[in-house]
Structure 1
Amino acid sequence: MSPKDVSLQALVAPIAEDLASMREILGGALVSDVPAVSDMLDHIARFRGKQLRGALVLLNASARGRSSAQLVDQGELPVVAAIVELIHLATLVHDDVLDGADKRRRVASVNRRWDNQVAVLLGDLIYARAFHLSTTLRSPLVSQLLSQITQEICAGEIEQAAGRYDFQMTPESYERIATAKTGALYGAACELGSRYPDGSEFDGAEMRSFGREIGLAFQIIDDLIDLEGDEEVAGKSTGTDVEDGKVTLAVLHAYKDADPAVQAAIRDAYTLPELEGVPGGRLKYLLESCDLEPGKAKARARAAELVESGRKRLTRLPEGTARTALYTLSEFVLERRW
């Protein structure tokens, strides 16, 4: 079934009840008695997007024949899914600071509406809420795994920051960084759904790999949206990678295949002082100076390879609506424009 033939809502129908519980838990986690904090949490509650990571927790659990009603302590799976979504939300708030982004999900980013200092502190608070929720669970698996993943995310962001303006970066290095930044949390979501509360690491290994591959593909497409996306469709600021010196996969391929004059133009797009502070100036210069289409095609092809590799792992799951949903959901990663 093509993603064009089915809505995201239809795909998550097998987990509708647990998904509703997850959203209720998320709402309860985004409140505060402190008026200033409450205003900010109300604002970021509007950031709610596709919630794919939480859905992946629940779909993987459902595919293994488990739901919240089948656990000794009912309701824990939606809590696990909510924790994953909270960590993702914290990374979004921090990412907007790192990228200097003005918009998130069609509303002003926290750093735009308030400032960078507030955004960093709010992201930290959301991380703390996530880990506090994990202490309410009877199994330590969630806190153990997500503390590891949070370290991996931070290390990936640090490595990316250290590699700004590096046009000699290899595609392999790009993928390692993107997997840490994005794929790791996708992998954790799938692993937790497969293993929680007491499955072995072997139980979750294949689905962890599925999630990391799908997450890497998601990041490749996200980087393409930043290059070519319409802000109104994407619902967030675009062109931020070029502004911030991040050399993404399509640009790496374009640079590698270009002659020296075009390579110089690509470097200029990232570094010319006169483009500093010009809204969209660096991206416009890049697009006018270089044919990025071959590079973008290679990036899309790599994302498709990753999705196909991930899909093959789904054959380990029992047949059923949840497995079908995971299969089709992976196609959304390639087709999305937002």
Structure 2
Amino acid sequence: MTEQTARPARAPHSARTPHAPHPAPVLQPLGRLRRDWPRSFADRLTAPLPGVRAMARLAREGAVRPGPEGLRDIPRLPFAPGPLPEAGPDTLAVTWAGHASWVLRIGGLTVLTDPVWSRRILGTPARLTPVGVRWEDLPPVDAVVISHNHFDHLDAPTLKRLPRRTPVFVPAGLGRWFARRRFSRVTELDWWEAAELRGVRFDFVPAHHWSKRTLLDTCRSLWGGWVLTDRAGRRVHFAGDTGYGHWFAEIGRRHPGIDLALLPIGAYDPRWWLSDVHTDPEEAVRAFQDLGARRMAPMHWATFVLSSEPVLEPLTRVRAAWDRAGLPREDLWDLPVGASRVLVP
């Protein structure tokens, strides 16, 4: 089941209010797997999940894929694979492999985000663009971060390619999925918790989303994004999958000076169905501003058909929203799939 089946609307959250004081999170031990997580994380939803009426409306309208006009630009989707940049311990570089999959080089580590190297995921057509980085061209993977368990973010065939001793950082409640697949260095974190690997800090932060992988596990594991910080204090925020809401400003308060925000801009139409769980391009720019980040790299588009907007529209709209906001053009890293960018100190 993919994200297009989720459609919440605003609801109160039981956690700390955005303006409340907050202590610095204590670093959790690597490899922490807890057995006492709550049975459900449904109280973390910032919107209720769709009911029967919403499902019936979606079935009536049938607006789950673009029409022929919306698909005609598939040949024009940006795809420009290139060699991975050289990366030493002081390098901060990103390469977009497609969708929410990034190759992050930070603090001497190579980190994969939500790695999906499969040609197809459950319930969707095949990829619109190839994977931007061949698996055999990857350097040794030092760590993986997972935002949540939807199939376009948690891909079992891809993860099966990794050595089982690869450190994996996952949301609360998702560790058992990895343990069953014999991953031996899995660290589960709740929102606002953190762990450290070889001098790079991994903070798990909230998102406006949900989780579901089977008929019986709705919200049984948490969802969120990550802030990675190197020894020099440079920060990358990987938002995972999220709607727009108050958490962006709170993340920015707790993690000031984010150097680069990787934010989703696609899979947003129809809005009545997806607005609470997927930012549209204009909301992604607002989220960037709320974070107080210095640069933004769009993601979660140009790869899988998950909703009904024309395939090239997210890029057109995010560029227009960026221009309207009066933001420096050089700070929008609208990369083609397979392209890289290095942050110069």
| TM-score, normalized by the shorter chain, greater than 0.5 | no
* Higher RCO structure (Cα 8 Å, ≥6 apart): 2
The answer to which structure has the higher strand fraction is: 2
Q: Output the TM-score relative to the length of structure 1.
A: 0.29
